[in-house]
Structure 1
Amino acid sequence: MTQTTVSSVRPYEGRLDNATKSRLAELPIGRAIRERAALTPGDVVVREQQFGIYAEHTWAQYSHDVETFACGLLRLGIRPGDSVAIMGDPSYLWMVADAAIISIGAISFGIYTTCSTEEIAHQLNTAGAVAMIAENQEYVDKLQALGDQSPTVRHVVVDDTRALFGYNDPRILPAAQLLTPEEPYTTTERAHVGELAARASADDVALLVFTSGTTGQSKAAMITHRNFMVGGALQMCRVFPEITGPDPRPVICHLSLAHAFERIVCLYSPILTAMVVHIGEDVEDLATTMVQSQPYFFHAVPRIWQKMASQAVTNIDRSSPVKRWAYRRAMAVARRERAARWDGKTPSLGLRAAYRLARICVFVPLLRKFGLGHTEIGLTAGTHTPEEVQRMWQYWGLNLINGLGMTEVGFVAFQRGHYPVPGAVGQRVPDLEVRIADDGELQYRGAGVFHGYLGEPERTAEAFTADGWFCSGDIGTVEVGGDIVLRDRKKDIMITAGGKNITPSLVENAIKGSPYISECVLFADGHKYPTALIEIDLDAVTEWAESRSLEFTGFTSLTQLPQVVSLIDSEVQRLNEQLARVEQVKKFRILPKELDPEEGDTTPTRKIRRGHFERMFQHLIEDMYADERQEAQQLQ
């Protein structure tokens, strides 16, 4: 298959002024897309790779395809207020379908491709979905596996139908039938779509986004047009004015579009900016897409930033002695230069010159291997980012910025400026009010705050204070300079047997700063000391083991190698030095299996389901605290 490198073939027609961006953000999404297409019809909005070639879609074509697909939905009998699910990897059709659903006043929601059968049934039934847009046979099969558990689904629209033969389900039809029907859509049908889009209010519910469900079944957050356009897309414009132009700003759509973060960045922010969404051929091959697309703005959850940093460190370890020597010298300079800046000082002329040389000779080639050589802004959000990971990318010269957002609020805060101090999540976005409750909980009020949880009035009431502020569940502080610092989830604070409070995420993020550790789950509540269960980073540890000619047959046998246990022990001891004595991990065990969202180990966004986790690995937890049980028995 021939691979092509993307280049900008059309100039950006014109940078939208602030007044236009603000006006578009206040419109319902369907109308905003139509107006953007009228303003800059020839601008490219999406580049999608198929068979090695990137196909471009302009705003005019995108708007037309949205209108066409919307006509098809109406012919199927889908009406305003109906809910329609979309399941599959990011694609141009995913974007078109989402906008079409919203344009006719129906409600769109995405289902993670890693969801279990039970979770799929729960989401379809909670939403009362009347139709599902499926990428291919894989997701049709998942729906059919539900049997009669999804009684409301009347239509299954499939994008890639090549493997769909021998199916007798009358609900199934190809997406092409909606985009190019045998009987063309009439002018009246197209006008009706425009009428429905014009009739919508920015405060109507447009989307459902299912929360992670770490402690039980996921909740359906009702999101209005204004929530994600004003509380999300417009805030990005204000915090990152660089993405508004004047030149096209490539951004890669690679996370699940069921995720609020990815929806805001790749579906709705382009309406107000010069962002051009790039969709690679295989979502699993992000590295190739990054090299081809050369993103100006790259966003990812912390796990991806961590894995790329691990890969970089592993590559350096396996390089020639001369390259390893050059890297060590460059890192010594980078640590001094960045430390000075983080302390608010101006590095000396000599140190600045030395860092510039290190960047040109060592760090720029490193970044180019990841397709980040032209990236001006790196954004990490979705959950806590280990400080060690953020520091590493900043040493290498990538301006990695922390962001904080919530499904129920939109964007909350971003770090500002170049190479901000690692750790804080930044200053609040404009127009969002933040206050701290007596118990330390962060509470929010603003345009991004959601409409409530579908069908759950009691849980909705619990989420708000009597005077209308949303209760985030996060414990945090606001520093003198305005930076918000998260401590932990309110419900997750642990108290040891000695009465000491421990913030588990602080410890877990410190340990995950190792390139060889993918996940860390802390235990300390009611115990004398903290312990941890650790998931190794399979790629990094595999390369480490192979470089030492160690023999193993798979994940489990790799974790059992004494040399690997020793490696992880040395990493835990090294990272323990960043923690207070009471927080330091005294014992750990390596998980014998990879965590799998489809098996319920984590949520689709890789958040730990602690109850399930503790039941599955209870024997390992008990083994770490065997001495406590022995002491208790001796006292009896």
Structure 2
Amino acid sequence: MNLAEAIIRKNVEKHPLKSAIGFKKKDGKWKELSWNKFSEIIFKTANALKESGISENDKVAIYADNSAEWMIFDLAILSIGAITVPIYSTNNTEQAEFILKDSGAKSVLVGSQAQYDSCLEILKKESTDLKSIIISKKAVWIKKEFSSFYLEDFIAKSSAEFQFSEKKEDDTATIIYTSGTTGNPKGVMLPHTNFIKICDAHFEFFKFKNFEDEVSLAFLPLTHVFERSWSLLCLYGGARVYFLEDSKDIAKALVEVKPTMMCVVPRFLQKVYAGVLEKAEEGSSLKKKIFNWALETGKETAEFKRTEKSIPFGLKAKETVADLLVFSKIKEKLGGRLWFIPCGGASLSPEVTQFFESVDIHVTVGYGLTETTATLTAFPLTNFEHGSCGKPLPGVELRIGNHDEIQAKGNGIMKGYYNRPEETEKVFTQDGWFKTGDAGKFDENGNLFITDRIKDLMKTSNGKYIAPQMIENLLTNNNYISQITLIAEGRQFVSALIVPNFEFLKDYLSKKNIPFTSWEDIVKKKEIIDFYKEKINELQHQVSDFEKVKKFTLMPSEFEISSGEITPTLKVKRNVVMKKYADLIEEMY
């Protein structure tokens, strides 16, 4: 079945006047579209694409920030049986050109002036199959002679009468280029049925009640499989999805939209967690006592809920008071209604998940890849294990192969890498299991634990193996550390490049009356280095001696997407960072 049809048809029939999506207008106010209006715009866009020469199985790219237009265009492409090729909005001209050329995309939707200028430059070269550029916002200045059309004008004369293209079991819906921490990105081919089966598996797994009443806020990039799959799942289940165009506005949007659900990456939760603990630490001794009492009460209550045991009356009463005095204020900052947070993309320490469970927000840690249409495993609503990645979803088979590698079969597994049969062959075993590249193990209750990326494992000169993600995750739970890269391969001890959280560090400078000059000067000051030594030693007290960071260098600026140091999903490209800062690393040894 066609994925777009599976989402649109039943919702339009069931509740045509109910709001489907929300977005912010120029005046700063949020606007909603009903399922009737949403489907009408999708169908007009789909017909316009067909009239412009886009046929079944043609590739159409989206190179834009999150927006209602992003989702409308995606569903329109899928509706006519064409294939969506997302491009990260942060990609530069060269990176966008690689994807457009490799995929053979004939048309592209852009959202900003910079994205349009890049695509115009690519179109003029005639080095790709690109024939037209559609622009979602009229604020962008365009050159119409170069097959450039505003979306509003592009669909203006098209009909809203539409017939979905029929799709077979294995027909490709999208080609998603992996951001990858090494080499050129590869196009992952995912069929329509992958998304439908994964959606159905989630509803079977979680057994949501009244899902149509839920509200999701999409602020992670729709280009990434995680946010796109989650937003499609929400629409599939009839929930309302709001699209945030600038992720920097997340704090304000949370209060305005008041979502009940939202998918996030671990860094978001770590920042909230560290911020709350810092504020509590700054309070009076009485406020600290109340906060600690509330947290202990919340933990105790959460444990009863996790194990599906009846909560004693006295504890329930204490929880009510704890919520009134402490938790309600934390939840208010997140909009006040948030209760379910899928989290993936990297590991998350149990302290963080336990904290959110204590304030009655369920973080469902999951594990998956672009190649598996996101989720393979997730925390159930109850009987999950903190520190794990949860249990396999229905229709997913997992096994542990050579070198403790996690291997997968069943729902969600990709068709392969586009135009790369040899690369595809490398990631499948002879008996058809997909090799994830991650090392892991199961406990006696079937919970999956990730030990590390196999290729990231480091061996010191003393023969000890270091799993860097666990230590990096532990250290970035602290609000004074924003990013970190561990170094250990072939070395006698572990060292690290550490990017401070400059916002918190600036507050610290103010408190200690340390005059600000430049970050280059500040990170070299003895008192700042000593402050970080103390923090790191505190955080590592339970880590084995051979795994501890013995030396570190504070960086004067963050690792950036534009410089290639991190991926668009904020994962550090270890090999790029190691090469770029080789001299700094050598100085530590």
TM-score, L = length of structure 2: 0.93
Asked whether 1:33 is paired with 2:8, we answer yes
Task: Provide the rounded CA distance (Å) in 2 between the counterparts of 1:459 and 1:556.
Answer: 43
Deviation at 1:434, TM superposition (A): 0.8
Q: What is the match of residue 138 of structure 2?
A: 161
Give, as a single letter, the amino acid of the residue that structure 2 aligns with 1:403. Answer: G
Deviation at 1:377, TM superposition (A): 1.2
Report matched runs for 1:16-165 at 5 Å: 27-50=2-25, 51-146=27-122, 148=125, 150-164=127-141
After superposition, the C-alpha distances for 1:337-373 in whole angstroms (9 at most, x for unaligned) are 66788899988765664444223211221221222x2
Give, as a single letter, the amino acid of the residue that structure 1 aligns with 2:367. Answer: L
Q: Tell me which of 166, 169, 182 is aligned to 1:199.
A: 166
After superposition, the C-alpha distances for 1:227-274 in whole angstroms (9 at most, x for unaligned) are 12212x2222223332x51651010011111000111111x2134313
Structure 2 CA distance for partners of 1:505 and 1:73, relative to 1, 3 Å: same
Q: What is the match of residue 255 of structure 1?
A: 220
Secondary structure of the residue aligned to 1:488 is strand
Deviation at 1:139, TM superposition (A): 1.1
Secondary structure of the residue aligned to 1:458 is helix
Secondary structure of the residue aligned to 1:439 is helix
Asked whether 1:499 is paired with 2:466, we answer no
Task: Provide the rounded CA distance (Å) in 1 between the counterparts of 2:572 and 2:305.
Answer: 35
Task: Provide the rounded CA distance (Å) in 1 between the counterparts of 2:368 and 2:95.
Answer: 24
Q: What is the match of residue 461 of structure 1?
A: 425
Deviation at 1:490, TM superposition (A): 1.3
Give, as a single letter, the amino acid of the residue that structure 2 aligns with 1:30. Answer: E
Task: Provide the rounded CA distance (Å) in 1 between the counterparts of 2:277 and 2:217.
Answer: 24
Deviation at 1:27, TM superposition (A): 4.6
Secondary structure of the residue aligned to 1:408 is helix
The CA RMSD measured in Å over matched residues stands at: 2.5
Asked whether 1:216 is paired with 2:183, we answer yes
Bigger mean CA deviation after superposition, 43-52 or 28-37: 28-37
> 2:439 touches 2:452 (CA, 8 Å); kept in 1?
yes
Q: What is the match of residue 560 of structure 1?
A: 524
Q: Tell me which of 205, 209, 212 is aligned to 1:239.
A: 205
Q: What is the match of residue 288 of structure 1?
A: 252
Secondary structure of the residue aligned to 2:450 is strand
Secondary structure of the residue aligned to 2:222 is coil
Deviation at 1:123, TM superposition (A): 0.9
Q: What is the match of residue 382 of structure 1?
A: 345
Structure 2 CA distance for partners of 1:95 and 1:561, relative to 1, 3 Å: same
Structure 2 CA distance for partners of 1:247 and 1:472, relative to 1, 3 Å: closer
Give, as a single letter, the amino acid of the residue that structure 2 aligns with 1:42. Answer: L
Bigger mean CA deviation after superposition, 452-461 or 207-216: 207-216
Task: Provide the rounded CA distance (Å) in 2 between the counterparts of 1:168 and 1:176.
Answer: 14
Task: Provide the rounded CA distance (Å) in 2 between the counterparts of 1:171 and 1:317.
Answer: 58
Task: Provide the rounded CA distance (Å) in 2 between the counterparts of 1:503 and 1:431.
Answer: 30
Give, as a single letter, the amino acid of the residue that structure 2 aligns with 1:93. Answer: E
Give, as a single letter, the amino acid of the residue that structure 1 aligns with 2:451. Answer: R
Secondary structure of the residue aligned to 1:448 is coil
> 2:81 touches 2:165 (CA, 8 Å); kept in 1?
no
Task: Provide the rounded CA distance (Å) in 2 between the counterparts of 1:357 and 1:507.
Answer: 36
Task: Provide the rounded CA distance (Å) in 2 between the counterparts of 1:219 and 1:478.
Answer: 30
Q: Tell me which of 473, 495, 498 is aligned to 1:534.
A: 498
Deviation at 1:54, TM superposition (A): 2.0
Deviation at 1:477, TM superposition (A): 0.6
Task: Provide the rounded CA distance (Å) in 2 between the counterparts of 1:475 and 1:123.
Answer: 30
Q: Tell me which of 485, 491, 497 is aligned to 1:521.
A: 485
Deviation at 1:31, TM superposition (A): 5.0
5+ residue gaps, structure 1: 1-25, 626-636
Task: Provide the rounded CA distance (Å) in 1 between the counterparts of 2:564 and 2:44.
Answer: 38
Task: Provide the rounded CA distance (Å) in 2 between the counterparts of 1:326 and 1:58.
Answer: 45
Deviation at 1:403, TM superposition (A): 1.0
Task: Provide the rounded CA distance (Å) in 2 between the counterparts of 1:62 and 1:339.
Answer: 42
Secondary structure of the residue aligned to 2:435 is strand
Structure 2 CA distance for partners of 1:281 and 1:526, relative to 1, 3 Å: closer
Report matched runs for 1:342-491 at 5 Å: 353-371=317-335, 373-410=336-373, 411-418=375-382, 420-491=384-455
Q: What is the match of residue 230 of structure 2?
A: 265
> 1:68 touches 1:178 (CA, 8 Å); kept in 2?
no
> 2:42 touches 2:76 (CA, 8 Å); kept in 1?
yes
> 1:222 touches 1:452 (CA, 8 Å); kept in 2?
yes
Q: What is the match of residue 22 of structure 1?
A: none
Give, as a single letter, the amino acid of the residue that structure 1 aligns with 2:377. Answer: A
Give, as a single letter, the amino acid of the residue that structure 2 aligns with 1:425. Answer: C
Deviation at 1:406, TM superposition (A): 1.1
TM-score, L = length of structure 1: 0.86
Secondary structure of the residue aligned to 2:503 is helix
Deviation at 1:454, TM superposition (A): 0.4
Task: Provide the rounded CA distance (Å) in 1 between the counterparts of 2:43 and 2:29.
Answer: 26
Task: Provide the rounded CA distance (Å) in 2 between the counterparts of 1:288 and 1:481.
Answer: 41
> 1:433 touches 1:444 (CA, 8 Å); kept in 2?
yes
Task: Provide the rounded CA distance (Å) in 2 between the counterparts of 1:602 and 1:456.
Answer: 24
Q: Kindly, what percent of the aligned residue pairs are identical? A: 27
Bigger mean CA deviation after superposition, 281-290 or 502-511: 281-290
Task: Provide the rounded CA distance (Å) in 1 between the counterparts of 2:291 and 2:40.
Answer: 51
> 1:27 touches 1:202 (CA, 8 Å); kept in 2?
no
Q: What is the match of residue 573 of structure 2?
A: 609
Secondary structure of the residue aligned to 1:133 is strand
